[in-house]
Amino acid sequence: MNQPQLRKPVEHFLDNKKYLHPKLVANYGNWKYHDRPRPGVLHHVSNTGDQVWSVRAGTQRQMDVFTIRKLCDIADQFAEGRVRFTIRSNIEYMVSDEAKVAPLIAELEKNGFPVGGTGNSVSMVAHTQGWLHCDIPGTDASGVVKAMMDELYEEFKTEEMPNRVRLSTSCCEINCGGQADIAVIIQHTKPPKINHDLVANVCERPTVVARCPVAAIRPALVNGKPSLEVDEKKCICCGACYPPCPPMQINDAEHSKLAIWVGGKNSNARSKPTFHKLVASGLPNNAPRWPEVNAVVKKILMAYKADARPWERMADWIDRIGWPRFFEKADLPFTKYMIDDWRGSRYNLNASAHVRF
């Protein structure tokens, strides 16, 4: 038998120049302005007068090789064999000839890739791994996103929102999906269920104790074996103990719920960047299409669409109308769980007589 060849890895992070579309190479750092001739198309003009059209289309992110090859065929036919991906897993085709834009769009749509996601649209959901691949997920990711984007399909393809809308989903409270105008995140409601037989063998106990944000975990002897116990009164059900100690099962088919957060914004445009805020919880983890979650997301989106002024992001809109009216317009209950009691929470209280009526 042949010994496997011992190859040393080539440790180098590559340059992107050879992957750039020729027009992007020629005008690198020399762009003048852009406009959007239609949803899904960006038209960039350089200081030399050169032009490039970028056509953006949605993908399912987790792609099979047949889908990727189809996307490549389209790039070879229309876009000089170059593509790029956006941070939200949309694909972009750059074309140097305006006449190719319409046939490219037709070809993408014929193959089931919606063209859109630019400007004031609802772009593709930033999402995570879920049941398909993560070791700690309370819910799925790709499935939640598929169900959500089916509902928001028209909003992806048009630019009819007041400003851009960015969504994210996360299948545990770690929130890999990130901050967003609307974020859907797992919210556990019961403390972990501990399998005491396994803790001693599987978990580094001091590490797990240190991981808890509220110091609710302490070492204990259970049935004569070293294990861990949780002060259930203190526990905030965050699930942080679960990754370092899988016998502390936090996921529960019934009690792991979904929460909705709004008003996260990373852009510095207008207001400073903001974190998203809790506006709904207790929604069931109702696979395979999560209709209750989608209904709330849509309700919030439609209230924003109807009421926000041009260029107001979700956070800017709420800043103007205030939280009481947000809850009224989005038709959601404001509950005691939304009043912050974590560190620095007094900054979130209304220390003024500013009250809207």
Partner 1 sequence: MAKPMHPTPNLDQLESGPWPSFVTGLKRLAKDKDYVVDVLGHLEHSYQTRKGYWKGGTVGVRGYGGGVIPRFTEIKDASGNPVFKDAAEFHTIRIMPPPGMHYDTDTLRKFCDIWETHGSGLIAFHGQSGDIMFQGCTTENVQKAWDEINQMGFDMGGAGPAVRTSMSCVGAARCEQSCYDEAQAHQKVINTFLDDIHRPALPYKFKFKFSGCGNDCMNAIQRADMAVIGTWRDNMKTDDAMGKAWFAKHGMNELVNDVIGMCPTRALQIKDVKDVSKEAHISTVALNDAQCLEIDNKDCVRCMHCINVMTGAMGPGKDKGATILIGGKSHLKIGATMGTVVVPFMSLKKDEDYDQLTELAQTCIDFFAENALEHERTGEMIERIGLVNFLEGIGLDIDANMVNSPRMNPYVRTDGWDEEVAKINAKKAAA
Q: Facing residues of 95 across strands?
A: 53
212 binds ligand SF4 (CB under 6 A): yes
128 binds ligand HEM (CB under 6 A): yes
202 binds ligand HEM (CB under 6 A): no
Alpha carbons 303 and 181: distance in angstroms, whole number: 13
By residue count, the chain amounts to 357
178 binds ligand HEM (CB under 6 A): yes
CB-based closest residue to ligand HEM: 176
Alpha carbons 138 and 257: distance in angstroms, whole number: 9
Q: Which two tokens stand for residue 20?
A: 């750039």
Tell me which H or E stretch contains 304. helix 291-307
241 binds ligand SF4 (CB under 6 A): yes
- For residue 315, CA distances in Å to 17, 36, 267 come to 37, 24, 11
At a CB cut-off of 8 Å and minimum separation 6, what does 235 contact? Answer: 191, 192, 214, 216
Contacting residue, 217, 283, 314, 318, with ligand SF4 by CB under 6 A: 217
214 binds ligand SF4 (CB under 6 A): yes
Alpha carbons 227 and 205: distance in angstroms, whole number: 8
Contacting residue, 27, 129, 168, 274, with ligand SF4 by CB under 6 A: 129
- Stretch touching ligand HEM by CB under 6 A, among 128-136, 218-226, 297-305, 313-321: 128-136
24, 17 Cβ separation under 8 angstroms: no
Which residue in 217, 62, 202, 238 sits closest to 141, CA to CA? 62
Least distance in angstroms from the C-beta of 27 to partner 1 = 8
- Stretch touching ligand SF4 by CB under 6 A, among 91-99, 157-165, 228-236, 275-283: 228-236
Nearer to ligand SF4, 45 or 136 (CB): 136
Is omega for the bond preceding 213 within 30 degrees of 0, making it cis?
no
Q: Facing residues of 38 across strands?
A: 41
Contacting residue, 45, 96, 226, 243, with ligand HEM by CB under 6 A: 243
**Contact partner, 60, from ligand HEM, ligand SF4, partner 1, none, Cβ < 5-8 Å per class:** partner 1
Give Dmax over CA atoms of the chain in angstroms.
82
At a CB cut-off of 8 Å and minimum separation 6, what does 289 contact? Answer: 143, 147
322 binds ligand HEM (CB under 6 A): no
220 binds ligand HEM (CB under 6 A): no
Contacting residue, 104, 126, 203, 235, with ligand SF4 by CB under 6 A: 235
Alpha carbons 282 and 177: distance in angstroms, whole number: 19
Contacting residue, 145, 161, 199, 237, with ligand SF4 by CB under 6 A: 237
Start-to-end CA span in the chain (Å): 82
Contacting residue, 26, 134, 198, 202, with ligand HEM by CB under 6 A: 134
Contacting residue, 117, 137, 263, 264, with ligand SF4 by CB under 6 A: 137
Contacting residue, 39, 192, 263, 264, with ligand SF4 by CB under 6 A: 192
Q: Which positions touch ligand HEM (CB under 6 A)?
A: 128-129, 134-136, 174, 176, 178, 243
Q: Which positions touch ligand SF4 (CB under 6 A)?
A: 128-130, 134, 136-137, 170-172, 174, 176, 191-192, 211-212, 214, 216-217, 230, 235-241, 250
